[in-house]
Amino acid sequence: MQKRKLGKSGLEVSALGFGCMGLSFGFGPATEKQHAIHVIRAAHDGGVTFFDTAEAYGPYLNEEVVGEALAPVRDQVVIATKFGFEGGRPNAGLNSRPENIRAHAEAALQRLRTGRIDLLYQHRVDPNVPIEDVAGAVKELIAAGKVGHFGLSEAGVQTLRKAHAVQPVTALQSEYSLWWREPEKEILPALEELGIGFVPFSPLGKGFLTGAINETTEFSSTDFRNVVPRFSVDARKANQPLVDVLGEIAGSKNVTRAQIALAWLLAQKPWIVPIPGTTKLHRLEENLKAASVTLSAEDLRAISDALAGIEVQGARYPAHLQAHVNR
């Protein structure tokens, strides 16, 4: 797989990363440990060198699985993790106090079985802690050799600028896909200006863009999508035209909807690195093949024109979580 650099940082990773969250958190019961390890190793065998986890995925369980899975190839991969919730539990509220950042880093190093976290993100902006203090704490960890690079997740432009002035930000991780294009307004221009890479999560719309989900799909009782307005039955029905159009485009190029969605992201900027995740080996293989799908300028115009008249219905987060994004 081709490599990309995250902005001007010099951090080089595979063009597609692997989002490990769904193996342990968010989409129903955690995957059996040995299968999760097998999927992660299969991703590496397929050319992936960039793996994304967080203390909140479990909590802690995902970091442990990632650490065990990648221990044999640790010197060949880039591992990213995140801090920012009280006790690693999103429902317990935010905590980005410097002492908590340091405590997370020390514990994460053990769980990840490594001497250095390659990329450490603040998971969500904490309004009770100045972003300059957050950046300063990570800067100290970088100086100590415990962290390689600093990242933010779902941060707004002004927060990004303030943090970057204290400790250069290597990457911003936020949602971006064919059904959530809001970052194009302010985020992408700011990232280009500052030389910061972009790591889109949910590049397949939490599965919706693959065509595997429709209005009759029933999710596990512990699946996060049950509380997401965009995944209500009415919203799924209303958003089906987007999936239908993607299917037509994919069919014309003899690829899948998922491959078109990922190839489209890769074509936007050379410093964008999507991190699709999956628990299924056949989906992993499908996703990785997207890195070889080339979309011409004509293809991109055709996709843009085909989707121009479709307005996606439903908020991407419930109200209590929406307050945590784009701060």
What is the SS3 assignment for 305? helix
Give Cβ neighbours of residue 112 (< 8 Å, ≥ 6 apart): 53, 63, 66, 67, 70, 79, 81
How far separated are the first and last CA of the chain, in Å rounded? 34
Please report, for the chain, how many H helices and E strands are present, in that order. 11, 9
Q: Are β-strands 3-5 and 12-14 bridged in parallel, bridged antiparallel, or unpaired? A: antiparallel
- Name residue 163's amino acid: A
CB contact at 8 A, 137 and 84: no
> Is 57 among the catalytic positions?
yes
Half-sphere exposure of 217 (CA within 13 A, CB side): 19
Backbone angles phi, psi at 62, to 5 degrees: -65, -40
DSSP string for residues in 211-266: T---TT----TTBGGGG-GGGSHHHHHHHHHHHHHHHHHHHHTTS-HHHHHHHHHH
Query: What secondary structure letter does DSSP report for 314?
Result: S
Catalytic residue among 57, 60, 121, 176: 57
Tell me the catalytic residues.
57
